[in-house]
Amino acid sequence: MSEFLTIGEPMAVLASQDVNKDLADVGHFSRFLAGAELNVAIGIRRLGHSASYVSAVGSDPFGQFILDSIRSSGIDATHINIDSNYWTGFYLKQRVAQGDPQTYYYRKNSAAANYDKANLVNIDLSKTVITHITGIFAALSPQALAATHTLIDNVEKVGGIITFDPNLRPALWKSEAEMISTTNALAKHGTVIMPGIHEGKILMGSDDPEEIADFYLDQSSITQTVVVKLGPDGAYVKQRNQTPFTVSGFRVKEVVDTVGAGDGFAVGIISALLEGKTMHEAVVRACAIGALAVESCGDNDGYPTSNELKRFYQEQDEQIGEGI
């Protein structure tokens, strides 16, 4: 098995080529691969680490596109089921000159939402170092939530590390109360938790980074590190029994698309930890990849290779030296 594993819903995204047009008026789209957890797997693989992805797709053109794309990227697709009874999820994404794009999802009752937890019995986790969980897959359906819990149990049995990103999607939940209680319950199993500052406000009632970190450190002895994402300003980091610190964000030339930045942030932390880096080094990398992500149209097209990441650091050093 791979050193990294995640479970989620893969999707095709039809991204508008027409800037600042409402989705109803767009006439030209480009197709990309998407899905928060898959984005992370792609980023991890791009940095040279082995990655496995657990999911299901329909027996349809989007499903085939996703499988072909995953395999060509080098991600282990052994545990992606093809379920002809359901379709593959997809969504439409607006292209905007500034800000967050409008999105419209077609994912209800998808193949991934009907993933059977019984399939997890065939997955060997003995050599998997980090398993990444988000609140998205758990929100899809009772079956997906059950599969999430089963995977978490299996990881804990072998002593693996779990990283958790709340990745709130209110539209997928029956109520905000259910979203909050379920997401926070899942977070109790995370060794490293990565909430955004606005997610903290929803999940525990405060947008103060230290209060957010303390909430998650206090609710579970499993949790050792909380990294609170501050958007362009960087991240606040608090580790159990250690002095907290803040990492500044990186400047970018142009914000093209903000979708995928948070997943790129997770790529930075997870890949660095797989390489034995310190948490400070990991969060610096997370901020760098998050910055690179917003400069590209696709959800994961901006994620760098190792050489591209080194070049980005060099360019940033030069800009800092020039006072930019």
* 263 catalytically annotated: yes
Q: Which of 263, 299, 301, 317 is catalytic?
A: 263
Question: Percentages helix, strand, coil for the chain, rounded to the nearest 5?
Answer: 45, 20, 35
d(CA 173, CA 182): 10
Tokens of 143: 């079956």
SS3 of 303, please? coil
d(CA 208, CA 110): 37
**Residue 315 vs residues 172, 201, 244, 295, 310: alpha-carbon distances, Å:** 40, 35, 28, 15, 9
Q: Are strands 245-247 and 235-239 parallel, antiparallel or unpaired?
A: antiparallel
For 69, the enclosing helix (H) or strand (E) is helix 61-72
d(CA 193, CA 239): 10
Closest by CA to 160, choosing from 2, 33, 37, is 2
Q: Which amino acid is residue 230, in one-letter code?
A: L
d(CA 154, CA 148): 10
Q: By the 8 A CB rule, do 223 and 188 touch?
A: yes
Q: By the 8 A CB rule, do 146 and 18 touch?
A: no
For 154, the enclosing helix (H) or strand (E) is helix 142-157
Cβ partners under 8 Å of residue 306, min gap 6: 47, 48
Residue in this structure with the two tokens 């957890």, named with its chain if needed: 37
Residue 302 bridge partners (DSSP) = none
Cβ partners under 8 Å of residue 171, min gap 6: 105
Q: Which residues are catalytic?
A: 263
